[in-house]
Amino acid sequence: MRKNSSFLHLFLSFALLLGQAKPDPDPLQDYCIADTKTPQYFYFNGAPCINPELAVSSHFSTSVLSKPGNTKANPFGFNVTLTNANNLPGMNTLGLSMARVDIDANGIVPLHTHPRASEVTTCLKGRLLVGFVDTSNRVFTQQLNPGESFVFPKGLIHFLYNYDSKAPAVALSGLSSQNPGAQIVSLASFTSKPPIEIQILKNSFQITDQDVARIRKNLGG
Protein backbone atom coordinates (compact mmCIF):
# COMPACT_ATOMS: atom_id res chain seq x y z
CA MET A 1 0.00 0.00 0.00
CA ARG A 2 2.74 2.51 1.04
CA LYS A 3 4.88 1.44 -1.87
CA ASN A 4 1.96 2.02 -4.22
CA SER A 5 1.23 5.49 -2.97
CA SER A 6 4.85 6.64 -3.16
CA PHE A 7 4.98 5.30 -6.73
CA LEU A 8 1.84 7.27 -7.52
CA HIS A 9 3.47 10.33 -5.96
CA LEU A 10 6.55 9.92 -8.15
CA PHE A 11 4.40 9.38 -11.23
CA LEU A 12 2.35 12.51 -10.52
CA SER A 13 5.51 14.58 -9.91
CA PHE A 14 6.93 13.46 -13.26
CA ALA A 15 3.62 14.16 -14.99
CA LEU A 16 3.66 17.65 -13.48
CA LEU A 17 7.26 18.30 -14.50
CA LEU A 18 6.65 17.08 -18.04
CA GLY A 19 3.46 19.10 -18.22
CA GLN A 20 5.40 22.26 -17.46
CA ALA A 21 7.73 21.70 -20.39
CA LYS A 22 4.87 21.39 -22.89
CA PRO A 23 3.99 24.12 -25.38
CA ASP A 24 0.44 25.43 -25.77
CA PRO A 25 -1.98 22.59 -26.59
CA ASP A 26 -2.54 21.87 -30.29
CA PRO A 27 -5.76 23.28 -31.75
CA LEU A 28 -8.52 20.79 -32.63
CA GLN A 29 -9.70 22.84 -35.64
CA ASP A 30 -8.16 24.98 -38.43
CA TYR A 31 -8.71 28.11 -36.36
CA CYS A 32 -10.66 29.41 -33.42
CA ILE A 33 -11.22 33.15 -33.90
CA ALA A 34 -11.29 34.54 -30.37
CA ASP A 35 -14.73 35.79 -29.39
CA THR A 36 -13.81 39.13 -27.83
CA LYS A 37 -17.36 40.51 -27.76
CA THR A 38 -19.54 38.04 -25.84
CA PRO A 39 -19.11 38.51 -22.09
CA GLN A 40 -17.37 35.49 -20.56
CA TYR A 41 -19.35 33.81 -17.80
CA PHE A 42 -16.98 30.95 -17.21
CA TYR A 43 -13.23 30.73 -17.59
CA PHE A 44 -11.09 28.10 -19.24
CA ASN A 45 -7.68 27.77 -20.85
CA GLY A 46 -7.64 30.25 -23.77
CA ALA A 47 -10.49 32.18 -25.38
CA PRO A 48 -13.74 30.73 -26.82
CA CYS A 49 -14.22 30.81 -30.62
CA ILE A 50 -16.78 32.55 -32.75
CA ASN A 51 -18.82 30.50 -35.25
CA PRO A 52 -16.16 29.51 -37.86
CA GLU A 53 -18.57 30.50 -40.67
CA LEU A 54 -18.24 34.10 -39.51
CA ALA A 55 -14.42 34.12 -39.93
CA VAL A 56 -13.05 36.83 -42.24
CA SER A 57 -9.53 37.72 -43.37
CA SER A 58 -9.25 40.67 -41.01
CA HIS A 59 -9.42 38.26 -38.04
CA PHE A 60 -6.00 36.99 -39.13
CA SER A 61 -4.46 40.44 -39.52
CA THR A 62 -3.35 43.22 -37.19
CA SER A 63 -1.52 46.53 -37.43
CA VAL A 64 -0.70 46.82 -33.69
CA LEU A 65 3.00 46.15 -34.36
CA SER A 66 3.23 49.02 -36.86
CA LYS A 67 3.27 51.70 -34.17
CA PRO A 68 5.91 52.24 -31.48
CA GLY A 69 4.77 51.81 -27.86
CA ASN A 70 5.24 54.58 -25.30
CA THR A 71 8.74 54.15 -23.82
CA LYS A 72 8.17 56.97 -21.28
CA ALA A 73 5.55 55.07 -19.25
CA ASN A 74 8.23 53.31 -17.16
CA PRO A 75 11.66 54.19 -15.70
CA PHE A 76 13.52 51.75 -18.00
CA GLY A 77 12.86 53.40 -21.39
CA PHE A 78 11.19 50.50 -23.21
CA ASN A 79 7.81 49.36 -24.41
CA VAL A 80 6.56 45.99 -25.62
CA THR A 81 3.55 45.71 -27.91
CA LEU A 82 2.25 42.14 -28.01
CA THR A 83 -0.23 40.42 -30.28
CA ASN A 84 -2.96 38.61 -28.37
CA ALA A 85 -6.46 37.13 -28.74
CA ASN A 86 -7.96 40.64 -28.59
CA ASN A 87 -5.89 42.46 -31.23
CA LEU A 88 -5.30 39.39 -33.44
CA PRO A 89 -8.26 37.06 -32.73
CA GLY A 90 -7.26 34.55 -35.47
CA MET A 91 -4.12 33.73 -33.45
CA ASN A 92 -6.18 32.17 -30.63
CA THR A 93 -5.14 28.49 -29.96
CA LEU A 94 -2.22 28.59 -32.46
CA GLY A 95 0.42 28.63 -29.71
CA LEU A 96 2.37 31.70 -30.79
CA SER A 97 2.54 35.47 -30.52
CA MET A 98 4.71 38.34 -31.69
CA ALA A 99 6.09 41.36 -29.94
CA ARG A 100 7.40 44.71 -31.06
CA VAL A 101 10.04 45.99 -28.66
CA ASP A 102 10.91 49.69 -28.65
CA ILE A 103 13.91 50.76 -26.58
CA ASP A 104 15.15 54.33 -26.03
CA ALA A 105 18.84 55.24 -26.35
CA ASN A 106 20.51 53.42 -23.42
CA GLY A 107 17.12 52.05 -22.42
CA ILE A 108 16.62 48.47 -21.26
CA VAL A 109 14.02 45.73 -21.15
CA PRO A 110 15.14 44.79 -17.64
CA LEU A 111 15.80 41.24 -16.42
CA HIS A 112 12.57 39.30 -16.92
CA THR A 113 11.17 35.87 -17.76
CA HIS A 114 8.32 34.47 -19.86
CA PRO A 115 7.04 31.48 -17.89
CA ARG A 116 5.18 29.98 -20.88
CA ALA A 117 7.33 30.76 -23.93
CA SER A 118 10.69 30.62 -25.63
CA GLU A 119 11.44 33.79 -27.58
CA VAL A 120 13.44 34.51 -30.71
CA THR A 121 14.20 38.18 -31.22
CA THR A 122 15.49 39.97 -34.32
CA CYS A 123 17.04 43.42 -34.11
CA LEU A 124 15.37 45.61 -36.74
CA LYS A 125 16.99 48.92 -35.87
CA GLY A 126 19.81 50.10 -33.61
CA ARG A 127 22.35 48.18 -31.53
CA LEU A 128 21.25 45.70 -28.89
CA LEU A 129 23.09 43.83 -26.19
CA VAL A 130 20.93 40.81 -25.32
CA GLY A 131 21.45 37.86 -23.02
CA PHE A 132 20.07 35.27 -20.63
CA VAL A 133 21.16 33.35 -17.53
CA ASP A 134 20.71 29.58 -17.47
CA THR A 135 19.77 27.56 -14.37
CA SER A 136 23.44 26.88 -13.58
CA ASN A 137 23.98 30.67 -13.50
CA ARG A 138 25.90 30.83 -16.79
CA VAL A 139 25.35 33.96 -18.82
CA PHE A 140 25.09 34.03 -22.61
CA THR A 141 25.19 37.47 -24.25
CA GLN A 142 25.47 38.80 -27.76
CA GLN A 143 25.51 42.13 -29.57
CA LEU A 144 22.88 42.36 -32.28
CA ASN A 145 22.96 44.61 -35.33
CA PRO A 146 19.94 45.03 -37.60
CA GLY A 147 18.93 41.69 -39.13
CA GLU A 148 20.62 39.59 -36.45
CA SER A 149 18.68 37.29 -34.10
CA PHE A 150 19.02 35.68 -30.67
CA VAL A 151 16.93 33.08 -28.85
CA PHE A 152 15.90 33.11 -25.19
CA PRO A 153 14.98 29.64 -23.91
CA LYS A 154 11.63 29.29 -22.15
CA GLY A 155 11.41 30.58 -18.60
CA LEU A 156 15.02 31.81 -18.31
CA ILE A 157 15.85 35.32 -17.05
CA HIS A 158 16.91 37.60 -19.91
CA PHE A 159 17.37 41.22 -20.98
CA LEU A 160 17.63 43.48 -24.03
CA TYR A 161 19.76 46.61 -23.68
CA ASN A 162 20.17 49.41 -26.22
CA TYR A 163 23.85 50.24 -25.79
CA ASP A 164 23.65 53.11 -28.27
CA SER A 165 23.51 56.35 -26.26
CA LYS A 166 22.02 58.37 -29.12
CA ALA A 167 19.60 56.32 -31.24
CA PRO A 168 16.51 54.28 -30.26
CA ALA A 169 16.33 50.56 -31.11
CA VAL A 170 13.52 48.34 -32.39
CA ALA A 171 13.31 44.54 -32.19
CA LEU A 172 10.69 42.05 -33.29
CA SER A 173 10.17 38.87 -31.25
CA GLY A 174 8.31 35.64 -31.91
CA LEU A 175 7.09 33.78 -28.82
CA SER A 176 6.03 30.14 -28.53
CA SER A 177 2.78 30.79 -26.67
CA GLN A 178 -0.32 32.88 -27.32
CA ASN A 179 0.00 34.05 -23.72
CA PRO A 180 3.73 34.03 -22.83
CA GLY A 181 3.39 35.97 -19.54
CA ALA A 182 6.16 38.28 -18.34
CA GLN A 183 7.69 38.81 -14.92
CA ILE A 184 10.22 41.62 -14.46
CA VAL A 185 12.57 40.47 -11.71
CA SER A 186 13.05 43.89 -10.05
CA LEU A 187 9.35 44.82 -10.15
CA ALA A 188 8.19 41.38 -8.96
CA SER A 189 10.62 41.64 -6.04
CA PHE A 190 10.21 45.26 -5.01
CA THR A 191 6.86 46.59 -6.24
CA SER A 192 4.49 43.63 -5.79
CA LYS A 193 1.03 44.22 -4.30
CA PRO A 194 0.83 43.57 -1.44
CA PRO A 195 4.57 44.13 -0.89
CA ILE A 196 6.86 41.22 -0.06
CA GLU A 197 7.94 41.35 3.62
CA ILE A 198 11.00 43.61 3.96
CA GLN A 199 12.85 40.89 5.87
CA ILE A 200 12.49 38.57 2.87
CA LEU A 201 13.98 41.17 0.52
CA LYS A 202 16.80 42.01 2.96
CA ASN A 203 17.78 38.37 3.30
CA SER A 204 17.29 37.50 -0.37
CA PHE A 205 19.44 40.33 -1.69
CA GLN A 206 21.64 40.78 1.42
CA ILE A 207 20.69 44.46 1.69
CA THR A 208 19.49 46.87 4.40
CA ASP A 209 16.14 48.55 5.16
CA GLN A 210 17.45 51.73 3.51
CA ASP A 211 18.42 49.78 0.37
CA VAL A 212 14.92 48.31 0.15
CA ALA A 213 13.34 51.76 0.56
CA ARG A 214 15.64 53.30 -2.03
CA ILE A 215 15.09 50.58 -4.63
CA ARG A 216 11.30 50.71 -4.10
CA LYS A 217 11.35 54.48 -4.57
CA ASN A 218 13.53 54.25 -7.71
CA LEU A 219 11.16 51.69 -9.21
CA GLY A 220 8.11 53.80 -8.43
CA GLY A 221 6.76 51.25 -5.92
**Binding residues for ligand NAG, per CB under 6 A?**
69-70, 73-74, 79
User: Is the bond preceding 194 in cis, omega lying within 30 degrees of 0?
Assistant: yes
Please identify, using beta-carbon distances, which residue of 79 and 93 lies nearer to ligand NAG. Answer: 79
CB of residue 78 vs ligand NAG: minimum separation in angstroms?
A: 7
Cβ-based nearer residue to ligand NAG, 79 or 97: 79
Q: Quote the least distance from Cβ 74 to ligand NAG, whole Å.
A: 4
Q: Determine the distance from the C-alpha atom of residue 138 to the mean position of all C-alpha atoms in its chain, rounded to a whole number.
A: 21
Q: Which is nearer to ligand NAG, 77 or 95 (CB)?
A: 77
Nearest distance, CB of residue 68 and ligand NAG, angstroms: 8
**Which value, in Å, is the radius of gyration of the alpha carbons in the chain?**
21
* Residue 114 annotated as lining a ligand binding site: yes
Whose Cβ is closer to ligand NAG: residue 31's or residue 78's? 78
Is 112 labelled as part of a ligand binding site?
A: yes
User: 146: cis peptide before it, omega within 30°?
Assistant: no
The answer to whether 9 is annotated as binding is no
Query: How many CB atoms within 10 Å of residue 25?
Result: 10
E strand segments, the chain = 78-82, 97-103, 108-113, 119-125, 128-133, 139-144, 149-152, 158-162, 169-175, 183-184
Which residue ranges make up the annotated binding site? 112, 114, 119, 158
Which residue ranges make up the annotated binding site for Mn(2+)? 112, 114, 119, 158
